[in-house]
Amino acid sequence: MAEKAFASTADTAAKTVSFTEIGPGLYAYTAEGDPNSGIIVGDDGCMVIDAQATPMMAEDVIARVRSVTDKPIKYVVLSHYHAVRVLGASAYNAQGIIASNATYDLIMERGEQDKASEIGRFPRLFRGENSIPEGLTWPTLTFERGMSVFLGKREVKLFHLGAGHTAGDIVAWVPDAEVMFTGDLVEYHSACYCGDAYLREWPLTLDSILDFRPQAIAPGRGAALQGNQQVREAAAMTRDFVTSLYGAAELSVARGRSLKETFAATREVMDPKFGSFAIYEHCLPFNVSRAFDEASGIDHPVIWTAERDREMWAALQG
């Protein structure tokens, strides 16, 4: 069997972007399994959820916003710290960049390593890399558990419901439309990236999302989800992915298997169900590495560096 190209370095095909209205003045910017953004249009301004990876790529989101409103983009919300979500923030000239306290702490702890790691893994997602300003993207406003932002009379509630995809994930809830922007806590027909995840806690956070009974969701990856049935299906699919991954790793660790043996055992469980999902092959080695660590008692995800990425990939996919 030929050696697999590292991560997504061989993925060079452009994706088709969709811009879908999922509620009054609420839009999902989706791209066939590439990272999504969300747009909330209020009375006196807009909010963008997740900025894209570079200012050049953010310009396409801004162009879609301009196709539906000329109101200023006042806020950019970062659902979590990953570079592919945040490094385009400067393009919006927003008055506030909002994230959870936990996300701020993660940028502090591992932002530089994550930036180098992600750009190395998936060059296509960092088109116009030279448009990224020097340094990291920093939130200007953070919160512990929840806060409200008012776009005129329209209220947007931001919540840190618990860990999952990372320690700091937040969701944006628009009560007047019963619509939620979940970031990577929910994916649809796309693999969950779990390299920085809290796999035991993630299903509990999904429960908290479903408690809101959203009528539509803009997920982190995959198509916009409209109607309660599709919302529940996506949450169930995400839960199945996360629990299948952790269950396979937990069993392997209990049996004293090595990481390489755990990778093979996890494939037997995951490939038949999820092998066709977007970015599945890219994510799997990172996912198994984190699941193996968590099942071995390493609660706080180990920092990924460009060097660690390559070493792990060679050990598991080589």
What are the pLDDT digits (tens) for 11-29? 566 778 999 999 999 999 9
Residues whose CB is less than 8 angstroms from the CB of residue 169 and which lie 6 or more positions away in sequence, other chains included: 79, 80, 100, 103, 160, 161, 162, 163, 183, 184, 185, 205
Average pLDDT over residues 265-286: 95
Q: How many domains does the chain have?
A: 1
Q: Is position 225 within any domain?
A: yes
Q: What integer pLDDT is reported at residue 2 of this predicted model?
A: 47
Q: Is position 191 within any domain?
A: yes
pLDDT band at 265 (very low <50, low <70, confident <90, very high): very high
Q: What integer pLDDT is reported at residue 158 of this predicted model?
A: 98
Q: Please indicate, yes or no, whether the overall pTM of this predicted structure exceeds 0.75.
A: yes
Q: Is position 49 within any domain?
A: yes
- Cα(175)–Cα(172) distance, integer angstroms: 10
Segments forming the whole domain that contains residue 232: 18-239
Q: What integer pLDDT is reported at residue 10 of this predicted model?
A: 58
pLDDT band at 135 (very low <50, low <70, confident <90, very high): confident
pLDDT band at 129 (very low <50, low <70, confident <90, very high): confident
Q: Is position 3 within any domain?
A: no
Q: Is position 102 within any domain?
A: yes
Average pLDDT over residues 166-172: 98
Average pLDDT over residues 74-84: 97
Q: What is the mean pLDDT of the chain?
A: 94
The CATH code of the domain that includes 176 is 3.60.15.10
- pLDDT tens-digit readout, 178-230: 999 999 999 999 999 999 999 999 999 999 999 999 999 999 999 999 999 99
- pLDDT tens-digit readout, 248-262: 999 999 999 999 999
Q: What integer pLDDT is reported at residue 12 of this predicted model?
A: 63
pLDDT band at 1 (very low <50, low <70, confident <90, very high): very low
Neighbouring C-beta atoms of residue 101, cutoff 10 Å = 14
Q: What percent of the chain has pLDDT over 70?
A: 96
Q: What percent of the chain has pLDDT over 90?
A: 83
Average pLDDT over residues 222-243: 97
- Cα(168)–Cα(139) distance, integer angstroms: 13
Partners of residue 75 on adjacent β-strands: 47, 96
Regarding predicted confidence, which is higher, 118 or 265?
265
Contact 43, 53 (CB under 8 A): no
Supply the DSSP symbol for 35: E
Q: Is position 303 within any domain?
A: no
Q: How far apart are the first and last CA of the chain?
A: 10
Regarding predicted confidence, which is higher, 318 or 125?
125
Q: Is position 311 within any domain?
A: no
Instruction: Label the pairing between strands 96-100 and 73-77.
Output: parallel
Q: Is position 276 within any domain?
A: no
